[in-house]
Amino acid sequence: MGATPAPSQNRWDLQANPLRADIKLLFLSALIVFIVTVAIGLLNGQHIVTLSSDVILTHVHAGTLGWITLSVFAFGFWIFGNGGIVEQQNTYIRVLSIVSAIAIPLYVISFFLGIAIIRAVISVPVLLAMVGILAWIIARSTKVRLTVAHIAMLESIVTLIIGAILGVLIQIQTAAGTVFLPDGVMSAHPATMVAGYLILIGMGLSEWRLMPASGRLSRFGVVQVTLLFLAGIVLMIAALLNIPPLYGLNALLEVVGVIIFIIRFAPRVIHVNWTGGRDSTRFFAISACFVVVNAAMTIYLTVSLVTGAFPNGNIPSGLLIALDHATFIGVMTNALFGLIQDATQEQRSFWPWAEDILFWGMNFGALGFIITLLTGTTMLERVFTPIMGLSILLGIATYSLRLRRPPAIEQAGVSISQP
């Protein structure tokens, strides 16, 4: 007689989730679009050719929206979808999943094409899909037992929509050929998406996997994610309206939130088996470490802006790119690969060695890439970029094939039924 899974394990069992088909669809779509991000990154890292701004924007949006946001939608369906889903809700989620899986990749393509009117038009269904998912999450909040991860998910989607509204307005302004937005919108949009949305959802992902299910809502955890949510909003207002004192408030909120995060997560990270096991824990643990690294870099940047350390406000481009990759790869890609590993746990026997290459290659390459940017030794980008990029491509191939394979139970059923 088999052992009954512990309650903390049931929440990671995707096969028990009524929305598993939609979740897998979004994961697969995200992995496919991620190939675009990696391919452009590999080319750009070799400095063989100078890429146009349209290609760089394609790289950024394929990562932020295609890979990360589609996966975040899947995560939201996963944690809010357990229990009590009726057929009408299944249909609603199916429509949202299909619209997201089509509209977001098309939006990424529109950046590559460089046609402003197409970007403006396609940005609208992308925004509507985000709003539709937020509405569903709010409705489901009364049907599930809320944890800190649920609250982080809710707050991060709100921040995502604020950033997306700014992005849509930028596209409309560009297509119309008239200026009606404040100059700060070009800084406020990426600041909201990176420092607000991505760090917050990164915390939520680590919370879901590393913190045990106690049945109680952690007050310190709620304070932690809410401080980061408020920090993102304050940063957006500061950048949009050019209010320097708010940068100081942003730094204060982020410092307190990250200190609480360190206190809560340090015991979990310290006891992670980094080399002796291939479960998803190490992906979430190193993601949590990168949250702290990212926060330190963000606070340094904020304090430097407030104190005028950068002449004429000229922020070193290496610092900004390093900060972006600490977020995109360090925080988010680690956590999302860990999440997809949990989603495909019944297929762990397929290329198990690939998980070690992915984890160590991606993180060694990312750390080296970030250090080269911060130190100005850009020649080493040509070494670390392919290590990081090729490891990620192996991870994409491995998890895409696992997602497409039928669950082990179904395979067993087919085998048993055959004569």
Residues 6+ apart with CB under 8 A from 335: 202, 205, 206, 209, 283, 284, 287
What's CA 183's distance to the chain center, in Å? Answer: 27
**What pLDDT score does 63 carry?**
93
**What pLDDT score does 77 carry?**
92
Question: Could you tell me the pLDDT band of residue 11, with boundaries at 50, 70 and 90?
Answer: low
The more confidently predicted of residues 44 and 379 is 44
pLDDT digits (tens, 9 = 90+) for 329-386: 999 999 999 999 999 888 888 888 999 999 999 999 999 999 998 888 777 888 999 9
Domain boundaries, the chain: 19-144
φ, ψ dihedrals at 384, nearest 5°: -80, -30
What's CA 175's distance to the chain center, in Å? Answer: 28
Q: Write down the mean pLDDT value for the chain.
A: 87
What percent of the chain clears pLDDT 70, i.e. is strictly above it? 91
pLDDT digits (tens, 9 = 90+) for 96-116: 999 999 999 999 999 999 899
pLDDT digits (tens, 9 = 90+) for 128-160: 999 999 999 999 988 888 899 999 999 999 999
How is residue 180 written in tokens?
């009606």
Amino acid at 100: S
Q: How far apart are CA 75 and CA 104, in angstroms?
A: 17
Q: How far is CA 150 from CA 91, 160, 360, in A?
A: 22, 15, 30
Q: How far apart are CA 362 and CA 37, in angstroms?
A: 14
pLDDT digits (tens, 9 = 90+) for 219-256: 999 999 999 999 999 999 999 998 888 988 988 999 99
**What pLDDT score does 83 carry?**
64
Question: Could you tell me the pLDDT band of residue 30, with boundaries at 50, 70 and 90?
Answer: very high
Say yes or no: domain 19-144 is CATH 1.20.120. yes
